[in-house]
Structure 1
């Protein structure tokens, strides 16, 4: 674990971290570690000299900011639900949406988070339920399916947004993997 506290703490009471371990953990660490090391190898430069953003993209997606060989930030948080729009996961949302959806859908918070936001959102939801498979969405978008195109556009926008944020946080960007 190499993320600094300013990257992994949430804007909650500090006791939520000390008592319950509520913080950003990130996921796909093995993938990010491998591709950052492999990128440095291909470039013929030590990872300790590079600032890079590694991208693990697919049904479950995450980005990591890797500065001088150490991960300093990641798009996933306490759970894999935070971060990018994914195949079936919503990614970053305003937390108040949960209580709003509980009322509108007559569901518990657990049902909204675990059922709707985790399994029925993301590009699947944005595409009107068409698919959570990016290949299917690309084919449908090419055939003129507007919601498939929208889902892909939202996904791409969020990826670019995170890359820009991580470049700013690191103060430079040498490589996007």
Structure 2
């Protein structure tokens, strides 16, 4: 069985083709700075043709879709109705869902006979209890407008949970871990009995840990104060919180490798703040579970920075710590078989 996985960004398209007999990668291609998803897919098809692989003969195509709201809780066969639903959720993920849809629509135009599936970043977190996902706002804001914690990086956290269960020779249904996806975007997830019970990202990917350019948790009144005293509008506040804050806001740099290599006071402060926030979440999530089997690091920083891992784990009495390379594309392929 040959399955393709497509991750469509606003200016990029990542394509990976798997032979699911042994989960091997037959072909992969990352295209950056694209202006048309259809043209990018044409390039993918051209390269597949040169290998003697007909795109139309694939068994299915899986797509990463960032936001599934409350409606989508598992891999879903794409229909015209599903396309409309994903589009309607673009209000919750304006930077991601429209781009994800472009990949789906491009495949539909070129190969309408192919089965397509959407796999949602939010789906893994659909098991959170109401006391975990609700905000202490007027309840009607949840009922009428869907204001709640959704969580993200779910495909990565789910993959990590299953791989950790294998390493511990334990059924997924009995696994309790804290999964940390640390990169330019970061989230941490408490997984109890193989299911997400809490996660740091919230209504949007802005909440939670201190990230490359995102603030993570702040007092919401700061936004009101800045708007009242400095006259910032909604767009300016969005830019500050998502693109000018986090590590970059503190020391002017967002790449952790560069920050570690610097010896100035603000670079040190930025790392201290980042590490402290992660440790704070670990402690909070440990208190939610009666047993912790392991903590697991993944993502660009989690996988490659022993310096950050050592600082986070310092003096923590935790039995098992694993570093596992995430593979969201493989997890998407597994979910659509």
TM class by shorter chain equals over 0.9
Q: Distance in 2 between matches of 1:167 and 1:58?
A: 22
Deviation at 1:107, TM superposition (A): 1.1
Aligned residues: 171
Rounded Cα–Cα distance in structure 2 between residues aligned with 1:145 and 1:36: 38
In the alignment, the residues of structure 2 paired with residue 176 and residue 134 of structure 1 have an alpha-carbon distance, to the nearest angstrom, of 21
What secondary structure, in the 3-state scheme, does the structure 2 residue paired with 1:64 have?
strand
- String of CA shifts for 1:72-129, please: whole Å, max 9, x gaps: 00000000110001000000000000011223433113321x11011000001111x1
Distance 1:106 1:19 in 2: 29
Unaligned runs of 5+ in 2: 1-125, 297-337
Matches for 1:18-33 after TM superposition, within 5 Å: 18-33=143-158
8 Å Cα contact 1:53/1:63 also seen in 2 = yes
1:61 pairs with 176, 186, 198, which one? Answer: 186
Task: Determine if the alignment matches structure 1 residue 119 to structure 2 residue 238.
Answer: no
Cα drift, residue 174 of structure 1: 1.5
Q: Which one has more relative contact order, counting CA pairs under 8 Å at least 6 apart?
A: 1
CA–CA distance in 2 between the matches of 1:155 and 1:93? 13
- Which structure has the greater CA radius of gyration? 2
**Aligned residue in 2 for 1:145:** 264
Residue 165 (structure 2) aligns with? 40
CA deviation after TM superposition for structure 1 residue 136, in Å = 0.6
In 2, Cα distance between equivalents of 1:153 and 1:86: 13
Structure 1: segments with no counterpart, 5+ residues = none
Q: In the aligned structure 1, how far is the partner of 2:222 from the partner of 2:167?
A: 44
Number of the residue aligned with 2:60: none
Match of 1:162 in 2: 281
How big is the alpha-carbon RMSD for the aligned residues of Structure 1 and Structure 2? 1.0
Normalised by the length of structure 2, the TM-score is 0.50
Contact 1:26-1:76 within 8 A present in 2 as well: yes
Distance 1:109 1:96 in 2: 14
Which structure 1 residue ranges, 4+ long, deviate > 2 Å from structure 2?
A: 103-106
